[in-house]
Structure 1
């Protein structure tokens, strides 16, 4: 296990340092940093986030997930989260990678093996220990990135193996339900996609339930079970995440950004922004700019 993690760390570090990426997996990310950072926000997509060295904490509503070297996080659908690196130093940087989970691959594997049940009662984010077989498959995938001709032929097969290992791992149900059309995650996923298209306007839960084809009670129950929040709380998080992205491009336009994402009151916007990110918009942008300049 240690040997495999060491090679994984080395390969991710080499990939992150490449000036160009002639061969890459669509949606794959690598992160190498020597410092811990204050919380950053974003919207996850179905992904496996694997830590090779160091540690990280991801927060979904009031749920906190800590994971470190040799562990991975699974996000089953698009979710607004905040996260910060908890273990990193110049001697031992934080090293991690994110591999998108493909619904088509999971569905295909379910059909070939007789399908499965939506038997996972956990939220849309889970963590687990990576076993040697999973780590070995990930390392083999990264090796192929150094050999474009081999990657073109063998890459899809190794990606498929990684999906299979995850589907049969300790959090396999969370991965399998990504590929199930009738799963709770699929239902909530349709709801979150609708909210994402309408995040900047007033949403009526009855209208959303009609769009999804379920009762309001069913929608609320499944939505909270998967996302740890109500649909309206989810919309608020999306608004604030989008506002933060806009402010990075226009840090002095606080009131205008608040109105653009759906707030009628600048004071309410600043209050809710501070509640999520820890500081009001102007101060948060100043901190981010300082952090970026130091890291540049």
Structure 2
């Protein structure tokens, strides 16, 4: 498995006192906001979610939304296909498409929970920033991927902390939260993700065409995969679609389609009374045995066993 390269951890001499203070303040606010809670936590600020995990986890499958993701305690590794991306209190992750991933959280100390946050990317706000005549030139990137890791510095730490602190003065949220989120998106544009975010917005270009293909796959996951039809919808040749799709998502259209089906199947197994065979048919599988094999390969447990285990716990 290929692990995306991240910059080495900075030494104590690299970290300013002000950065340390901001990090500590961010940890304190997140600790207060997640007290007596665990897992993904919605907030009063639109698009902002907090996360608290009390023990290191094995790989958990899910859909990674377009978002800025930050770990302030502990670390997280996100994998898709043969590529993995790790971020920690010194790095952040930007994802610009809905991608089926597996994630693993590691605690710094087993006695202390991990703390993190996720800010969903607002395409409308980013589009307004990109059209602002005062926006400085955007750095060009040769390789635009759906997930990227970058160094977390004070210019981004500061507005993130101010945004989280608004949760303690909810009367300020309606006025100040949109302004601070705009600043955060601006900092992302200026910090090297300009091309990545620009491609998410543009109506033309390979990345936007792949984004349209992703939406088609999400809307029609239960239907047989027709790559030639997807290529036609994206105004690409089949070979170009395969090349740009895998470059952006790290997996092929077939793998992506299969993962979407299995993610929805797991949701149905854990949240409905449908039997395994009925779930397999609902997500588009004609063969229950093939469904069970592929389900076990992704989630490390047969669907019938997971359903039985969940039913006993309910």
TM-score between the two structures when normalised by the length of structure 2: 0.84
Distance 2:311 2:75 in 1: 24
Could you tell me how far 1:144 is from its partner in structure 2?
Answer: 1.7
- CA RMSD between the two structures: 2.5
Give 1:171 deviation, angstroms. 3.9
Choose which of 17, 27, 30 in structure 1 pairs with 2:35.
17
Deviation at 1:184, TM superposition (A): 2.8
Q: Indicate how the Cα distance of structure 1 residues 118 and 187 shifts in structure 2: closer, same or farther if over 3 A, else same.
A: farther
Rounded Cα–Cα distance in structure 2 between residues aligned with 1:252 and 1:64 = 34
Q: Which of 131, 134, 139 is residue 161 of structure 2 equivalent to?
A: 139
Q: Retained in 2: the 8 A contact 1:35–1:88?
A: no
TM-superposed CA distance for 1:2, in Å, is: 2.2
Post-superposition offset of 1:218: 2.1
Is residue 255 from structure 1 mapped to residue 273 from structure 2 by the alignment?
Answer: no
Match of 1:168, SS? helix
> 1:169 aligns to what SS in structure 2?
helix
- CA shift, 1:210, in A, is 1.7
Consecutive unaligned residues of structure 2, counting only runs of 5 or more, are 1-18
Correspondences of 1:15-54 after superposition (within 5 Å): 15-17=33-35, 24-54=44-74
The alpha carbon displacement at 1:283 in A equals: 3.5
Confirm or deny: 8 A CA contact 1:55 1:69 kept in the other structure.
yes
- Are 1:8 and 2:26 an aligned pair? yes
Measured after TM superposition, the shift of residue 34 of structure 1 is 1.5
Q: How does 1:168-179 map to 2 (within 5 A)?
A: 168-179=190-201
How far off is 1:14 after superposition?
2.1
Change (3 A) 1:198 1:89: same
Using the TM superposition, name which of 236-245 and 248-257 deviates more.
Answer: 248-257
- Alignment pair present for 1:201 and 2:223: yes
TM-score by length of 1: 0.89
Contact 1:74–1:127 at 8 Å: present in 2 too? yes
